[in-house]
Structure 1
Amino acid sequence: MTNRRGPNYELRALLTEAGWTQEALARAVNALGAEIGASLRYDRTAVAHWLSGTQPRHPAPQLAAEALTRRLGRPVTPDAAGFPVGSPDAPPADPVAAFTALCRADADASRRTALHQRPYRVADAVVSGPPGPPGPGRPLGRRTEATWALHDAVAFFAGSIDTHGGRHARSALCAYLTDDVVPLLSGGQPQRTRSEVLVLASRLAFLLARMYEDGLLHGVAQRYYTCAHRLAGEAGDRTSWSVVVRAMSAQAQRLGHLPSALQLADAAHRGARSAPPAQQAYIQAQLAVALGMSGDRRGALAALARAERAAERAGSAAAPFDSYPAAALHFQSSIVLESLGDLQGALAALRHATAERSPADVRGRALTQARFGQLLLHTGHLDEACAAWEGFLAARERLRSGDAERALRDMREALRPFRNRKPAAELLKRTVQGR
């Protein structure tokens, strides 16, 4: 930490407005650290030093500002909290310029750490309306001679996430975006070709966002999701825009920001009214989750029914962004049903999800089995839960995934009260740190 002149009156005023103690701010900063993969141990004493004028090291100023933003319900910058950190990192207004700047910062080793330590910002979980109605002609995002390599890249990296987890090949995708995709966006192509490239760049940005999210780096994931929906909007592709916004809703929901999750899910729903059935199912499933977790039983069940009907109408396409696997819909259904108190229905949905997972979807299978184990234990079925977790552990060994690591920690915590029971003891023994 470094010293500054005089007490930090700005931070003290914000703490008073928030009704927070020094300890409460320290806890909030530590919790936000977990969202960027950082294990922080700030306490009341650290905050007292900040109040006396000590400047904490990066990323504490950004985390403290975001914690106060969430508490107060209005944007708070590090400067406003008494932590001068230089110019804000607001992206350029032009979507292509913003995407270019983000990719180059991510590829630059001297700037990457600060980017990866950026917190998830609730104030940024807001989208403008979808692009205008699509024009005549074939849908965007189809394979053409000019975009053949981009389609191959989308298929490769989407498959890599499912098979190996989001921490695998992440730097490769970043380099590909910087070295190959960004130059294609610099202009010089016919408008139709440029729109195709924008959509495919959006898909690749979406995939890198998924990788970062699976690596528990939620702030930089949010930045790539934002670029993805802005690129899709620039292309005028309402379906691609809505798919990205739906994923942003799921991220907000997993982080516990239900108002943001619901607003984003509703925006995706409104933007995808004319989308193909597979994308409709994907979007309606997340709307059902957000509504269910917000306590709207009728709305959640109606959205889930729409998702199921759309899935029935969808074809058998297996290409990324053109399909929505039945196993994924069953997994979402289980979340909806559990949020509505139907535990048996949630268990039945997870059984279907487990049975229908593709062998290549190692990550999906692992997380389904982990969730299955938690719900089985919650309903009093220890032996069955341990059997499900055995399947999770077998799949997890093949993954580089922050979500899988978090599921492992959750499993250990859930089994600890049963450590004297043989199946639980055996699982805990297998998962001792470092083995």
Structure 2
Amino acid sequence: MTNPRGPNHQLRALLTEAGWTQEALARAVNALGAEIGAALRYDRTAVAHWLAGTQPRHPVPQLAAEALSRRIGRAVTPEAAGFPGRPRDARPADPVAGFTALCRSDADAERRVGLHQRPYRVADAVVPTPPGPASPGRPPGGRPEAGPALHDAVTFFAASIDAHGGRHARSALSAYLADDVAPLLATRPAGRARAELLVAASRLAFLLARMYEDGLLHGVAQRYYTYAHRLAGEAGDRTAWSVVVRAMSAQAQRLGHLPSALQLAEAAGRAARAAPQAHQAYAQAQFAVTLALTGDRRGALSALGRAERAADRAGAASDPFDSYPAAALHFQAASVLEALGDLSGALAALRRAAGERPAADVRGLALTQARFAGLLLRGGHLDEACASWEAFLTARERLRSGDAERALRDMRQALLPFRNRKPVADLLTRSAHGR
């Protein structure tokens, strides 16, 4: 912490407005630290120092401002909370310029640290403006032909996430965007070539966002999702835009921001109405999950039905952005049914999801087995749950994935009450090194 500057009356006023104690703010900052992979242990005494004028080190001012923003319901900057210094990152009006700057920051070892410590901002989880009409001469959702190298990169990195987890090859994709994709965007091609290049860049940004999200670095993931939808919007591709907004909904949902998740999912569904069937299924499945979590049973089942019908009509596709695997749809269906209280239906859906995961989708299989085991345990089927967790541990050994690590911690916590049973003791011993 830096030297005191005098009492922080702005922070005290915001605490009063939020109805928070010093301890409550400390807990909220610690929780936000977990969202960026930082294990923080602040308590009320630390907040008392901040109120006295002590300037905490980066990224605590950003975390405190975001915590207060979420509590109060309006955007609060670090400066408004009495923490002068590092400015809030600006968003250039030109998406190409902004994306290029982001990629260069991410590729720079010193600047990357600050970027990775950026918290997820609920105020930024709003529905962006959808693109206008598609660029002439290019069908919406069509595969970009901006060169075989870009298409191969999309295929490679999408497969890498499935096979090895989001923490594998992340720096490679970051460097590829900075060293290869950004210079291509700087050439400013015109017409169809420009639209195709923008969509290819959008897809690669989307994949890097997924990698960061799987690495539990939600703030930087949000930044890449933002530029992924802005690049798709600049290309006039509503289908590519809807794919990104749907993923933004899923991120907001997993972080517990259901109003944002619902609005984003609804917007993605609207934008995908004229899209290929696989994209419609992808959007409607997420809309169904958010509706179920908000308690809208009829709406959730209706959206899930639309997703299933669209998936049935979708043809086979080799491009990862033109297909929606059946296993992924079953996984989403399980989330819908679990949220609606149908445990047996959720278990059946997860069983189908596990059975249809291809061998190359190691991450998907691991997370499916972990979810399946957790629901089995809730249903009182301890031995079956242990067998499913065994399969999870086998798959997890091949992954570098924050989601898999979190599933491991959840498994250990769920099994602790049964630690005297031999199958459970064996699982806890096998998994001890992964804590």
1:423-434 to 2 correspondences below 5 Å: 423-433=423-433
Q: Is contact 1:187-1:194 (8 Å) kept?
A: no
Q: Which amino acid aligns with 2:410?
A: D
Once residues 184 and 18 of structure 1 are traced to their aligned partners in structure 2, the CA distance between those partners, rounded to angstroms, is: 47
Q: Is contact 1:91-1:98 (8 Å) kept?
A: yes
1:18-29 to 2 correspondences below 5 Å: 18-29=18-29
Shift of 1:189: 2.1
Q: Is contact 1:243-1:279 (8 Å) kept?
A: yes
1:388-403 to 2 correspondences below 5 Å: 388-403=388-403
Shift of 1:274: 0.3
Q: Which amino acid aligns with 1:88?
A: R
Deviates more, 1:421-430 or 1:157-166: 421-430
Q: Which residue of 2 aligns with 1:261?
A: 261
CA distances 1:330-375 after superposition (whole Å, capped 9, x unpaired): 0000000000000000000000000000100000000000000110
Deviates more, 1:85-94 or 1:128-137: 128-137
Q: Is contact 2:212-2:220 (8 Å) kept?
A: yes
Q: Which residue of 1 aligns with 2:227?
A: 227
Q: Which amino acid aligns with 2:55?
A: Q
Identical pairs, percent? 79
Change (3 A) 1:265 1:141: closer
Q: Is contact 1:133-1:236 (8 Å) kept?
A: yes
Shift of 1:38: 0.6
Consecutive unaligned residues in structure 1, runs of 5 or more: none
Shift of 1:401: 0.3
**TM-score, scaled to structure 1:** 0.98
Once residues 280 and 226 of structure 1 are traced to their aligned partners in structure 2, the CA distance between those partners, rounded to angstroms, is: 21
Shift of 1:100: 0.6
* 4+ aligned runs moved over 4 Å, structure 1: 140-146
Q: Which amino acid aligns with 1:18?
A: A
CA distances 1:151-185 after superposition (whole Å, capped 9, x unpaired): 00000000000000000000000000001000111
Shift of 1:316: 1.1
Once residues 133 and 270 of structure 2 are traced to their aligned partners in structure 1, the CA distance between those partners, rounded to angstroms, is: 12
1:73-84 to 2 correspondences below 5 Å: 73-84=73-84
2:3 matches 1:3 = yes
CA distances 1:169-217 after superposition (whole Å, capped 9, x unpaired): 0000000000100011113423110110000000000000000000000
Q: Which residue of 1 aligns with 2:102?
A: 102
Q: Is contact 2:141-2:275 (8 Å) kept?
A: no
Q: Is contact 2:135-2:195 (8 Å) kept?
A: no
Q: Is contact 1:35-1:216 (8 Å) kept?
A: yes
Once residues 141 and 274 of structure 2 are traced to their aligned partners in structure 1, the CA distance between those partners, rounded to angstroms, is: 16
**TM-score, scaled to structure 2:** 0.98
Count how many residue pairs are aligned between Structure 1 and Structure 2.
435
Shift of 1:140: 5.4
Shift of 1:127: 2.6
2:329 matches 1:329 = yes
Q: Is contact 1:140-1:195 (8 Å) kept?
A: no
Change (3 A) 1:57 1:135: closer
SS of the counterpart of 1:185?
helix
Q: Which residue of 1 aligns with 2:293?
A: 293
Q: Is contact 1:277-1:311 (8 Å) kept?
A: yes
Shift of 1:318: 2.5
SS of the counterpart of 1:400?
coil
Shift of 1:147: 1.8
Shift of 1:129: 2.8
Consecutive unaligned residues in structure 2, runs of 5 or more: none
CA distances 1:104-161 after superposition (whole Å, capped 9, x unpaired): 1101111100000000000000133311132553425655764211000000000000
Q: Which residue of 1 aligns with 2:62?
A: 62
Shift of 1:245: 0.2
Q: Which amino acid aligns with 2:282?
A: Y
2:203 matches 1:203 = yes
Q: Which residue of 2 aligns with 1:113?
A: 113
Once residues 387 and 430 of structure 2 are traced to their aligned partners in structure 1, the CA distance between those partners, rounded to angstroms, is: 13
Deviates more, 1:355-364 or 1:181-190: 181-190
Q: Which amino acid aligns with 1:319?
A: D
Change (3 A) 1:165 1:83: same
Q: Which amino acid aligns with 2:69?
A: T
